[in-house]
Amino acid sequence: MRFVILGGLLLSLTASLAPSAALGDPQTARITASFDGDWRFCKADAAGAEKPDFDDAAWRRLDVPHDWSIEGPFDRDHPTGRGGAYLPAGVGWYRKHFTLPAAYAGRRVFVDFDGVMAHSDIWINGHHLGNRPFGYVSFRYELTGHLNFGPTTPNLIAVRADNSAQPASRWYSGAGIYRHVRLVVADPVHIAHWGVYVSTPSVDSARAVVRVQTTVVNQSDEPRHINLHTVLEAPDGRVVATAETPQDIAAGTTQQFQQDIAVAQPQLWDLEQPNLYRAVSKILADASVIDDEITPFGIRHFTFEADTGFWLNGKNLKIKGVCLHHDAGGLGAAVPARAWQRRLEGLRQIGCNAVRTAHNPAAPEFLDLCDRMGFLVMDEVLDAWTVGKNHADYGYQRIFGQWWRADTRDTVLRDRNHPCIILYSAGNEIRDNLDSEHGFETFTAMRDLFHELDPTRPVTMGLFRPNQGRVYDNGFAELMDVIGQNYREAELVAAHRARPERKVIGTENGHDRRVWLVLRDQPFMAGQFLWTGIDYLGEADWPRIAWANAPIDRTGRIRPLGYQRQSWWSATPMVHIARRESASGGASGRIGGGEIVSHWTPRDPDTYDEALIEVYSNCEQVELVLNETSLGAKPRPADDAPRNWELTYVPGTLRALGRNQDRLVATHEIRTAGEPVAVRLTADRATLRNDWDDISCVTATIVDENGVCCPWADDLVSFTLSGPGAIAAVDNGDPASHESFQQPRRRAYHGQCLVVIRAGAVEGQIVLNATAPDRKPDSLTIDIAATETRD
């Protein structure tokens, strides 16, 4: 297992794998090596490219993960349409040349792909290994028997990814080998792929029982006598328990082991202290370790109760969740772990504690982060069964019958050791008839497969208009371990009141206050998942190319909507001022109309007179102060409505002061911006590692002479780098911008844009310069430090 330190967070990059070793070290029991580097790529269909003697000298050289669709350009006529953000689709080929030491000849060799979008075909030295149409699923192929060994006999692995049949997705999916790849070399007697399953059938503060179920495969021609040795390590690395099980295993067979191991005074995994243990599994034969694997896990206990909702380790809490798609704006679908860490930090700030992986399996490192940061996860597998949806004519419905079982199986086996996962979802807004034998049989088969592979977690799905499908009357709802419904919260409340033994959760919900109050005020409601937590590419009509109604935009900026959510979800004292840019119109439960902004700079100050202010806060009292003149204080409304003021606009400074028990606990101020004069750079991290999964996100802000952001500035900001680094992407969050994410320039949107920097060497300094016409430029330095790892 290899861990990398990103921003102080210990992150597993190869979950449930053996300790990393150099590819050339044949003495290591199990070798797991990154296979990401030095691929050759062609964005076209290339006849014969699977053959070793195919000439790829002119192909582009790159490392994966790689999403070629995000490179653009945007075009209204691209067949991906609104779902694919009008970005290109087609066929892409990847080829990798490599050699293997002669000492590997007697071992088993595998290649692991975390995700290839989509309809992938893979060959090794001209031999076809297989096809996986679903681009979100992780999979393994065995290469043994088709390899050359020694320094003078190279091998060739070829990958063809085809997403040319469009439209195939209702949101941006990406294209190519967009997740990590690894090469695994093991003894013929080894732990099976995803063959360690750790659960905690008994947990309390004094003692926990950790059940380790291990599948061992003997691919040799001889019977072997082995000893399975399992060590449990505490979060600080101390050995807390061990177990040994001897066993004879016949040639060509698979053996199942179960070890129940007691742990005294366990450190529980929860949202505040997400403690992680490690199960170190070793297979010994003749006193030598012939295979090993490390599996992180958490000790925790959770239940869903019909009358009180969700409980974790004996504590009743509300699931305050968001739905997330898998792209990261300008980075596309190939998302570094640090990008997800930064996004999860933003969600944590507004009080979020859970994520629904909408509507497909997430990258393994995303689940690693949720484990380590203390987020709950609804692990969703599919968006469709046999009936398709609008704007996804070539979606999963075309392969459901052939592939749902394999895709579900592989997802559960891969993910079931993650303590963050509390629910599996068998589908989202399924359009198959759930008032039919087909609907009942399909869900039952999927639910039973989930339970067979992982009996510790309940199964749900995001129901679509259940009253129309008679789901609450025909018995279908009773098939679900936890009833999940998208929107129409009153229907779900009524369904529970009709049958109080039902366990219920909102699987997709809007941002309105009335929706929040359903969760807040109904003890039986386990939680909700907002649509969506962060803006994403796709699901927008031209000229827009992105969904842009989330609490957080693509660049990580928190919108007023997010601060309002923070006032409801977070226990940390906070206050935030928002303003209606227009005084016209109106909205339910709010004053005024127009765009809600978080600045004190009207677009047209000469005509802007009446300012309609909304203050979001969880404090007992909030006082508003304009240019040192108090406008009075207001208590927190019982219905969590914002505190509203109407005042005559005067430039200057507007401050909100939040108090609890007459003590100042939170403040926020906004100032009127003057004329734009400069570009200002701020980096979220000043130190980088030379690791694909590590990035620094640098915000370029157009400011006035006092450093105040000019929110209406749209200057074109150009970036240059010196030193061993590269620009991974640029973005600004504008849902209608057709600028390239790959060019070293971007227009400011609401006064800001983002540039993402990646290191290109093990040490050194990167200097980033930013310029804009008629603006004072800025620069900053990012240091490259040695990658911190832990085995």
User: How are beta strands 139-142 and 678-683 bridged, if at all?
Assistant: unpaired
Where do we find the tokens 């669709």?
69
DSSP 70: G
Report how far residue 397's alpha carbon sits from residue 382's, in angstroms, rounded to the nearest whole number: 10
Active-site residue, 478 included: no
Report how far residue 337's alpha carbon sits from residue 343's, in angstroms, rounded to the nearest whole number: 10
For the chain, helix, strand, coil in percent to 5 are 15, 40, 45
Report how far residue 257's alpha carbon sits from residue 398's, in angstroms, rounded to the nearest whole number: 38
Give me the residues paired with residue 780 across strands: 768
- Cα–Cα nearest to 139, from 147, 130, 149: 130
Residue ranges of alpha helices (H) inside 581-635 are none
Active-site residue, 50 included: no
Cβ distance 351 to 345 under 8 Å?
Answer: no
The Cα angle at residue 337 between residues 335 and 340, in degrees rounded to 5? 75
For residue 488, how many other CB atoms are within 10 A of its CB?
17
- Cα–Cα nearest to 722, from 753, 764, 687: 764
Cβ distance 646 to 612 under 8 Å?
Answer: yes
Q: Is 450 helix (H, G, I), strand (E, B) or coil?
A: helix
Residue 559 vs residues 541, 548, 636: alpha-carbon distances, Å: 22, 10, 21
Cβ distance 83 to 171 under 8 Å?
Answer: yes
Q: What is the largest CA-CA distance in the chain?
A: 88
- Catalytic option among 71, 142, 345, 429: 429
- Cα–Cα nearest to 168, from 432, 390, 367: 390
Report how far residue 162's alpha carbon sits from residue 695's, in angstroms, rounded to the nearest whole number: 29
- Catalytic option among 293, 489, 508, 739: 508
- Cα–Cα nearest to 147, from 52, 8, 10, 23: 52
Residues with Cβ within 8 Å of 572's Cβ and at least 6 positions away in sequence, in order, are none
Sheet-wide strand order for 764-771: 687-689, 778-785, 764-771, 716-722, 745-747
CA distance from start to end of the chain? 6
Catalytic residue numbers? 429, 508
